[in-house]
Structure 1
Amino acid sequence: MRAVAYRKALPITDPDALEDVVLSVPTPGPRDLLVRVEAVSVNPVDTAFRAKADPGGQPRVLGFDAAGVVVAIGDEVTLFRPGDEVYYAGTPDRQGTNAEYHVVDERIAGPKPRRLSFAEAAALPLTTITAYETLRDCFRLTADSSGTLLILGGAGGVGSILIQLVRALTQLRVVATASRPESSSWARQLGAHEVVDHNDLVRNVHAVADSVDYIFSPHTTGRIDDFAALLRPGGEVTMIDGPSNLNLLPLRPKSISLHLESMFTRPLHRTPDMIAQHELLAHVAELIDAGAVRSTMTTEFSPINATTIRKAHELTESGRAIGKTVLVGF
């Protein structure tokens, strides 16, 4: 099968950063689906792996998001059958989705939303899981929950789906950050009640809210003092990045809780509730088919090869991407 891989951690400007390779089709394990990949998308974690995780000269296939068709199943699979259309995010301990065929545990795959194309569906899984787990597992929000949620990076991959899920699943008011007219407009289109510039964050948020109850942070470095100033006593922060040497003491006077979210926790540790990711993807597919949530795809490249994935990585690393970048077809 055709695939796109890297053999050494390199900047995307290096000609050898990504290459087209031919690999054997993987064999599904007992709980696995063998999926013919129709579309994939790129996330910041993809570029981070390529730049920092050196595979020691062996071809390592990148990619987590995928949408495709099940072509074979393991002996213990119960959730899907060959011919089913699925969407999902893979895991770091297996080869990635930038390949014609990919194996994934059925417990972390969901039925593709019927109203979306493969490309539109491929934009969603990783960010959707992150956003959904933030709301339900970290903040423990319900349909009756109210208050104000501040979303940093409202036009980013996670922010774009988080805004929509907050509006569909809770009663919260959404304040999102964006620094450019096009990103601000995108966040408003997705349902943000207010959009503010992340520069001079405290002043700009205070112009629309006296305080906030929850903060979602993909960019935490240098923001702890801001969070302490903005959150009400007993407020909560969920961060998805991994900055080192954070000084959390400013959060203590207000008894602010800090949550660390990683959507890879369940599949990497084979937790007893691993199937929760299948269930949440199925739930979001229902919301999409009902018209309550839409795809966050904004850019599409074709076909899937080293050249187009390089373009997608460059766009992601530029910091100017809005929504998600998708690649379609081999």
Structure 2
Amino acid sequence: MSSTQPGQQRLPAPRRAATTSGASRVGEYLRARRDVTQPEDVGLPREANRRVSGLRREEVAALAGISAEYYLRLEQGRDHQPSEQVIVCLGRALGLDEHALTHLRRLARPAVRAARPTRPAADDPAVQRLLARRNDVPAFVVDDRMDVVAGTALAAALSPSMRSGANRLLRMFTVVDRTTYPEWHRRAAEMVAVFRMRADLEDPRTQEIVGRLSIRDPEFAAMWARHDVHVYTSGTCFEHVEPFGVLEFEWEGLVIPGREGLTLNTLYAPAGSRGAAVLAYMVEAPPRSIDPATPAVGVA
């Protein structure tokens, strides 16, 4: 079972969308995945009078080859450091893909994260060099909170969501992106899954973003409660570009070596598309003036 194929009919009622202490993260994750995993997903029959939303604890324990008592301790956070063998067996029992299994390992054995650099990413010579090589295309750098920390002039001119200070996840849950994106619910759920995979749940900024969206947006709260995780390195995105309307682009993401949490995202448009024509026009024409005092959509 892919961990990033949420169906609205399976969304559980969110228990608690805010982050929790490290000792209970393994249990919280197991409970969330058990809630959304259906019997048929893991080869079990569905009884006609079945009342639980997902799998029973006893079923997960049996599929994983561990005792029900031990599994209960894991869910309750009383044993939050399972062995590698147990992690693999739990992944098989819950149908976790490779990214979800990596996430479970990270929860069970949290690593000490390196201190964040004090110098702003926009002033980092490595980041400046990467952007300078892409000054004729929309390109921007995001950190692991999906905050835009630097970008090319063309990216900033194309959309407020690519200007320094914008947050891509907050933007996704605005009216603008809800009306811009086809299949918005699926794409928003994918972005939430990427955010959880990248996020440091102990980071105050991460907690601020999750808390704000959880309070104001029930759909985000339900998506966050699923604990989906995924990694994307390319795909399609849609931007509302004034005065041209909604344009579709292809994008590629590059993790910047030696710069923990920073990813360079570059947008392209297929030859002959409206997006390509707009980009060609914007490269030839003087960039639209951007008032630095104007806040970007989704800015904290």
Name the TM tier (shorter chain): under 0.3
TM-score normalised over the length of structure 1? 0.24
TM-score normalised over the length of structure 2? 0.26
> Which structure is higher in strand share?
1
